[in-house]
Amino acid sequence: MSATIPFTLPQWAEHFRLMYRHRNSIVFPSNVDKAIFVTYAISTVGQVVRGRADKEHLPSRLATLCASVFAVVNISDDNRLLCRGLMHKYPERCCAYCKHDICDCGDNRPRFSSTANEESGQLNWKFYDWQTMLDIRYGAYNRDKGPYFIFARLSEEAQELLLFVSGFRQSNKEMVSGLDWMAQLASESADIVAWTLALASYYHVDMTMVMKNYYGKVCPGCKKEECGCPLIFRGSDETALVGTISK
Ligand SMILES: [Zn+2]
Ligand SMILES: [Zn+2]
């Protein structure tokens, strides 16, 4: 598959499935563990946003954040799940809230109604296409609000995902409005990817290149097509090698 890099999002889902299926089953065995991986990845991005870590770390941390979202959506066997979530929340035609090509929702978004089309070419979109469209639609507003706003929204979405997979939000209004569990998972995950791309755009990071560089062929940790990274235990004041993910 590497000849076709950069992948479409469904191709990335398959790529991450092959690379991390085994690792994720060991390191992040439950759905909640996978969602915690997302919140951890976001916290490392936050360190860069607030100046606690150097900007040069931002691309790899954004890539790991995307990888963590694939760990979540790959709970489903459907490689198109994340893409469907994005199509639903962020259809090609217009903002799903205000219905304008360039969003003018501002701080008070009207009611959501998707114009997503299952036949849409968005299933074949690559990170570049999503990042470009989202930046045209929402970029000016986000740049005006600044990186702390974008990061706050990203964190909020991760919390929503965590609450959802933990069962804390089982009775919320989206659930009773008919979205099934997987569609809701897709929707929450899509929001995280959208805000990740917003942050990337704010800092002029090309996520297509970054994903290709960090995850395009092999796991960046162990350099294998199917991850066999060492399994590290990090205690409060000690780090211990407790095994390996290799089969
Ligand atoms: Zn809008
Ligand atoms: Zn690895």
List, for residues 42-81, the tens digit of each pLDDT value.
Answer: 999 999 999 999 999 999 999 999 999 999 999 999 999 9
CA distance linking residue 194 with residue 183, whole number of Å: 16
Using a pLDDT cut of 70, give the percent of the chain over it.
Answer: 87
pLDDT 10s digits, 136-190: 999 999 999 999 999 999 999 999 999 999 987 655 555 545 568 899 999 999 9
**Which protein residues have their CB within 5 A of the ion that is ligand 2?**
219, 221-222, 227, 229
Overall pTM surpassing 0.75 (yes/no): yes
Helix residue ranges per DSSP H, the chain: 9-27, 31-49, 58-73, 81-89, 127-145, 147-165, 173-176, 181-202, 207-215
Separation of CA 137 and ligand 1 centre (Å) = 8
User: Ligand 2 centroid vs 108 CA: distance in angstroms?
Assistant: 43
CA dist., res. 9 & res. 129, Å (int): 10
Q: How close is the Cα of 24 to the center of ligand 1, in Å?
A: 36
If you average pLDDT over every residue of the chain, what do you get? 89
Ligand nearest to the CA of 244: 2
Q: What is the rounded distance in angstroms from the CA atom of residue 133 to the CA atom of residue 207?
A: 13
| Mean pLDDT along residues 210-220 | 95
Ligand 1 geometric centre to CA of 143 (Å) = 15
Structure tokens at 78: 């459907």
**Per-residue pLDDT for 239 more than 70?**
no
Distance, CA of 147 to CA of 113 (rounded, Å): 27
Type and span of the H or E element at 147: helix 147-165
